[in-house]
């Protein structure tokens, strides 16, 4: 079912496995006339690269992007943009043992159930490396959105029991701390917590928050293509995400209507809301307030302590996973969440062009 494509108008198709020759993405439906080069993409890819901090796997990957099509004289042409990253640091030999059993918390068993067999090297298609294509495409989406004054900021909100304090919010810390927390104190705390995790051969989960500023009211759709519905799919399609919230999220279930409704107010001649429990979306359509969403991410399933599982011969066994694995998925997934949100919002912005006859008349000058 074309399960590797995302988006209706700005449509991306990702491909590639952890230990194949390369990974990449084809971006179709990008409007012509956007200035673009690899320099716009690489910084986003660098944000998800391994081997950069103590809390991430020391496995080094260059992850250098090559743009193969869709640009001419420094601008997008309106035709597909194909981008590719070569795999350089793969050691398939490491994975021979994994071939014979099903790692708990991984997709080994479900891939076999679906496809009859699997590329067991590094998780194959279910590896975190699959997100390279999403991030490269997300970089383009973010650049396009910035042409309309829209910007996205994702960051780590919590790691295990340690949460950021919004009063300490420091945007620069997102890219400067190994945790991607916008609170240097909380980040230092979380780093110590993760060091303990690693000593205990264990891993931990966390929360990523993404806010979107500058969105004008009217993007999204009333029924199945609701902006929040598509954001939920986008975020939940990232491996390891187990819950998605918009605005006040799960808390609304305990709210009274009198508290949860955001009053509209005029401000500088514009309709605004004096609170934002809704997280910027009403009835599936952006309301002009900041869009706020959160992704809840499970702990890295590859842990070094012994685990019970079964092998392909149908026997109960105990295993100990080897290799180098991050004790937490969250920091490297921050840019993935941001990318998926950007792709979703851009697609809604493009789809909105045909929402009313008046829009089309502006384009065609009638």
Residues 201-230 that bind a second copy (CB under 8 A): 201-207, 216-226, 228-230
What does residue 176 show for φ and ψ, rounded to 5 degrees? -100, -20
Q: Closer CB to a second copy, residue 126 or residue 177?
A: 126
Q: Closer CB to a second copy, residue 152 or residue 246?
A: 246
Identify the CA nearest to 135 among candidates 227, 16, 224: 16
Residues 309-328 that bind a second copy (CB under 8 A): 309-310, 314-316
- Find the part of the chain contacting a second copy (CB under 8 A) among 25-33, 43-51, 54-62, 180-188: 25-33
Asked if 199 interacts with a second copy (CB under 8 A), we say no
Q: Is 84 helix (H, G, I), strand (E, B) or coil?
A: strand
How many angstroms separate the CA atoms of 229 and 225, rounded?
Answer: 6
Residues 53-112 that bind a second copy (CB under 8 A): 66-70, 72-73, 75, 77-82, 84, 102, 104-107, 109-111
Residues 132-191 that bind a second copy (CB under 8 A): 144, 147-149, 158, 160-161
Residues 262-291 that bind a second copy (CB under 8 A): 262-266, 269, 271, 274, 278-279, 281-288
Cβ atoms of 354 and 364 within 8 Å: the answer is no
Q: Is 46 helix (H, G, I), strand (E, B) or coil?
A: helix
Identified binder of a second copy from the candidate list 116, 167, 172, 199, rule CB under 8 A: 116
Q: Closer CB to a second copy, residue 172 or residue 263?
A: 263
Match 């079912």 to its residue by tokens.
1
| Nearest distance in Å: CB 339, a second copy | 13
**How distant is the alpha carbon of residue 109 from its chain centre?**
24
Sign of the torsion formed by the C-alpha atoms of 99, 102, 107 and 109 = positive
Identified binder of a second copy from the candidate list 9, 40, 64, 185, rule CB under 8 A: 9
Identified binder of a second copy from the candidate list 34, 98, 132, 194, rule CB under 8 A: 34
Q: Residues in contact with a second copy, total (CB under 8 A)?
A: 170
| Nearest distance in Å: CB 275, a second copy | 10
Cβ atoms of 319 and 303 within 8 Å: the answer is no
Concatenate the DSSP letters of all residues of 258-314 into one string. Answer: HHHSPPEEEETTEEEES--TTTTEETTEE-SSPEEEEEEEPPPS--SS-EEEEBTTS
């Amino acid at each position: 079912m074309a399960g590797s494509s995302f988006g209706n108008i700005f449509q991306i198709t990702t491909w590639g496995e952890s230990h194949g020759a390369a990974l990449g993405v084809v971006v179709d439906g990008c409007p012509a006339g956007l200035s673009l080069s690899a320099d716009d993409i690489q910084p986003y890819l660098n944000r998800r690269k391994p081997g950069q901090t103590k809390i991430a796997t020391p496995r080094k990957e260059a992850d250098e992007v090559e743009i193969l099509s869709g640009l001419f004289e420094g601008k997008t042409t309106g035709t597909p943009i194909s981008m590719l990253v070569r795999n350089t640091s793969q050691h398939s030999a490491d994975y021979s043992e994994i071939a014979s059993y099903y790692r708990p918390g991984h997709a080994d068993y479900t891939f076999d159930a679906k496809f009859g067999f699997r590329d067991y090297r590094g998780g194959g298609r279910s590896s975190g490396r699959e997100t390279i294509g999403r991030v490269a495409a997300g970089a383009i989406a973010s650049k396009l959105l910035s042409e309309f004054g829209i910007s996205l900021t994702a960051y780590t909100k919590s790691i295990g029991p340690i949460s950021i304090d919004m009063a300490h919010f420091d945007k620069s810390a997102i890219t400067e701390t190994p945790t991607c927390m916008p609170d240097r104190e909380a980040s230092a705390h979380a780093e110590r917590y993760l060091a303990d995790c690693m000593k205990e051969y264990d891993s931990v989960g966390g929360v990523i928050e993404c806010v979107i500023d500058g969105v004008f009211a009217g993007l999204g759709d009333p029924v199945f293509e609701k902006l929040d519905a598509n954001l939920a799919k986008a975020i939940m399609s990232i491996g390891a995400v187990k819950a998605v919230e918009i605005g006040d999220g799960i808390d609304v279930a305990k709210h009274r209507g009198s508290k949860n409704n955001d009053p509209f107010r005029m401000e500088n001649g514009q309709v605004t809301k004096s609170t934002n429990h809704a997280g910027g979306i009403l009835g599936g359509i952006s309301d002009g307030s900041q869009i706020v969403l959160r992704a809840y991410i499970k702990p890295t399933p590859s842990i070094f302590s012994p685990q019970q599982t079964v092998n392909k011969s149908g026997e109960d066994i105990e295993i100990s996973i080897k290799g180098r694995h991050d004790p937490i998925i969250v920091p490297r997934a921050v840019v993935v969440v941001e990318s998926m949100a950007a792709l979703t919002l851009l697609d809604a912005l493009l789809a909105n062009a045909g929402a009313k006859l008046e829009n089309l008349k502006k384009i065609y000058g009638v």
